[in-house]
C-alpha cells in the first residue's frame, strides 16, 4: 500500500514497502514460533533469528510479545473468516450456502500454514485468554452470526429441522477441525493412506455431508 502523497519510485514509497516486507517477515516467523512453543514458550530472540532481523526491530514494529501475538491471532482468524464469508453469497438456497460454507472451511483449514492450527490449539490448551480477546470477535462470533441467520432462513423454508443452531454450529465445524488436527499426528501410520490419500477433501466432504447433513435437513438432499 502506498501512502497518500507518495509518488511511485520515490523514497517514501520504498520505505513503506520495506516496512511491509519487514512486518510480514516478522509475522511469518512469529507464527512458526508460536505454533511450536505457544505464547508462553515463544522467545523474541528466536523470532528475530527466524525473521533474520534485529531483535530491536521487532520491538520497533510491535511494542512487545503480547502485541505481536495478538496481531498473529487477529491476522489468522480474520483470514479464515474472510474466506468463509465468500461462501455466504454463493446461493439463495440455505442448504447450498451451508454446503459452500463447510467446503470453504474444509479447504481453508487444509491449505493454510499448519502453524495456524498449532497456534490456535496451543492457545486453547493454555486457557484461551487471547482466543477470547481476539479470535472470538474476529472469527467465532461472526461465524455464528452467519450460521444463525442461515439456519433461521432454512427453518423458515422448512429445509432445516428446528434444532439448536449453536449446538449445530459446534458439531458442524468440530468434525472438520478434528479432521485437520490429526493430519500431522497420523503421518507415517497406517491411517495416513486411509484418511489422506488421493482427493481426500472430496472423499471427506461426501462422507461428512451424508452423515451430518442427514440429521440436519428436513429432506434428504
pLDDT (mean) for 106-124? 91
Question: What is the separation of C-alpha 100 from the centre of its chain, rounded to a whole number of angstroms?
Answer: 16
CATH of domain 66-216: 1.10.357.10
pLDDT (mean) for 27-50? 95
Asked whether 26 and 58 are in contact (CB, 8 A), the reply is: yes
Domain ranges of the chain: 1-62, 66-216
Is the pLDDT assigned to residue 11 strictly greater than 80?
no
Is the pLDDT assigned to residue 69 strictly greater than 70?
yes
* pLDDT tens track for 116-126: 999 999 999 99
Of 35-39, 41-45, 176-180, the range with the lowest mean pLDDT is: 176-180
CATH 1.10.10.60 describes domain 1-62: yes
pTM above 0.75, yes or no: yes
Backbone φ and ψ of 147, nearest 5°: -65, -40
What distance in Å separates the CA atoms of residue 90 and residue 58, rounded to the nearest whole number? 41
Compute the mean pLDDT over every residue in the chain, rounded to the nearest whole number. 86
Count of other CB atoms within 10 angstroms of residue 196: 17
* pLDDT tens track for 150-203: 899 999 999 998 989 899 888 888 889 899 888 888 988 999 999 998 899 999
pLDDT at 17: 64
Grid cell digits, residue 167: 449446538
Amino acid at each position: 500500500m502506498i501512502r497518500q502523497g507518495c509518488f511511485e519510485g520515490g523514497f517514501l514509497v520504498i520505505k513503506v514497502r520495506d516496512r511491509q516486507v519487514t512486518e510480514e517477515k516478522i509475522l511469518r516467523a512469529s507464527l512458526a514460533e508460536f505454533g511450536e512453543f505457544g505464547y508462553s514458550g515463544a522467545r523474541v530472540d528466536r523470532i528475530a533469528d527466524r525473521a533474520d532481523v534485529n531483535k530491536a526491530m521487532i520491538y520497533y514494529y510491535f511494542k512487545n510479545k503480547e502485541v505481536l501475538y495478538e496481531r498473529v491471532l487477529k491476522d489468522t482468524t480474520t483470514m479464515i473468516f474472510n474466506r468463509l464469508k465468500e461462501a455466504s453469497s454463493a446461493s439463495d438456497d440455505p442448504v447450498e450456502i451451508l454446503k459452500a460454507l463447510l467446503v470453504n472451511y474444509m479447504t481453508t483449514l487444509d491449505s493454510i500454514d499448519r502453524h495456524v492450527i498449532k497456534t490456535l490449539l496451543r492457545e486453547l490448551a493454555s486457557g484461551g485468554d487471547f482466543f477470547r480477546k481476539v479470535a472470538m470477535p474476529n472469527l467465532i462470533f461472526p461465524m455464528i452470526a452467519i450460521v444463525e441467520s442461515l439456519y433461521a432462513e432454512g427453518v423458515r423454508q422448512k429445509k432445516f429441522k428446528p434444532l439448536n443452531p449453536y449446538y449445530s454450529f459446534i458439531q458442524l465445524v468440530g468434525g472438520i477441525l478434528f479432521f485437520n488436527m490429526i493430519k500431522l499426528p497420523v503421518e507415517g501410520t497406517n491411517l495416513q493412506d486411509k484418511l489422506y490419500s488421493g482427493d481426500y477433501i472430496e472423499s471427506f466432504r461426501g462422507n461428512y455431508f451424508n452423515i451430518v447433513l442427514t440429521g440436519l435437513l428436513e429432506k434428504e438432499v
